[in-house]
Amino acid sequence: MYQALTVEEAVALIPDGASVMLSGFMGVGTPDRMVAALAAAGKTGLTVIVNDAARPDRGVGPLVKARCLRKFIGSHIGLNPDVQEQMRAGELEVELVPQGTLVERIRAAGVGLGGVLTPTGLGTKVAEGKRVIEVEGKPYLLEPPLAADFALIAARSCDYVGNLTYMLTATNFNPIMALAGRVVIAEPEEIVPVGMIPPDAVKTPGALVDHVIRRVA
């Protein structure tokens, strides 16, 4: 059984300069309490791997606004002017990755694969400096695996052994990132006794989860 951490205890585990996977899509399925606590703790130099920059007040937005990031790795930054501004000023490094490639690079790291061969990006800027490998007569880009020191996960339910469920489109990157963080911290909306989550409903087995955040009192 876990000793659930307060959100402050959890973010204290994350040092300045760490690489952090943050789940969510336009802020849906993002662990918002951990984001707020990281911003409040004044973390600096973080590399964040996240699908999109959402909006200034959503998803990774508060971390950008609080200037916690050194590098952003994701697929879309169009709706967050803070990212555009910090990128233009040279304060924030941005690596844009096609969304399907991003999730597969994360998955590759999480499942022990040496990378991904994908047709996405061939003949575009994304292919610059990358190896093209031909398999059965078709060309593919070789994309390396992408791991992180921490994966911050937003779950719907968590039981006492850390089994997680997700809800609807708040699932998105969560189950994939839960495989790829060296330390996995789950922020569930509810914590339930073991047995409440049927085995078939578990999307992330508790064996992958290192820490669980206490629910809001």
Residues lying near other proteins in the complex (CB under 8 A) are found at 25-29, 51-52, 54-55, 58, 74-79, 84, 87, 94, 96, 98-101, 103-104, 107, 118-126, 156, 166-176, 203
In DSSP terms, which residues pair with 184 in a beta bridge?
Answer: 151
Residue 41 CB, nearest distance to other proteins (Å)? 25
Minimum distance of other proteins from residue 192's CB (angstroms): 17
Closest by alpha carbon to 179, among 100, 111, 102? Answer: 111
If phi over 0 gives left and psi between -120 and 50 gives alpha, with beta otherwise, what is residue 130?
beta
Q: Which is nearer to other proteins, 1 or 132 (CB)?
A: 132
* Cβ-based nearer residue to other proteins, 29 or 188: 29
* Shortest distance, position 156 Cβ to other proteins, whole Å: 7
Q: What are phi and psi of 90, to 5 degrees?
A: 75, 15
The single residue listed with the structure tokens 């007569």 is 137
Please say which residue, 129 or 195, places its beta carbon nearer to other proteins.
Answer: 129
Q: What is the chain's length?
A: 217
Question: In 3D, which of 111, 110, 109, 208 has the Cα closest to residue 158?
Answer: 208
- In the complex, the smallest distance separating the C-beta of residue 91 from other proteins, rounded to whole angstroms, is 15
The answer to whether residues 212 and 186 touch, using CB atoms and an 8 Å cutoff, is: yes
8 versus 57: smaller Cβ distance to other proteins: 57
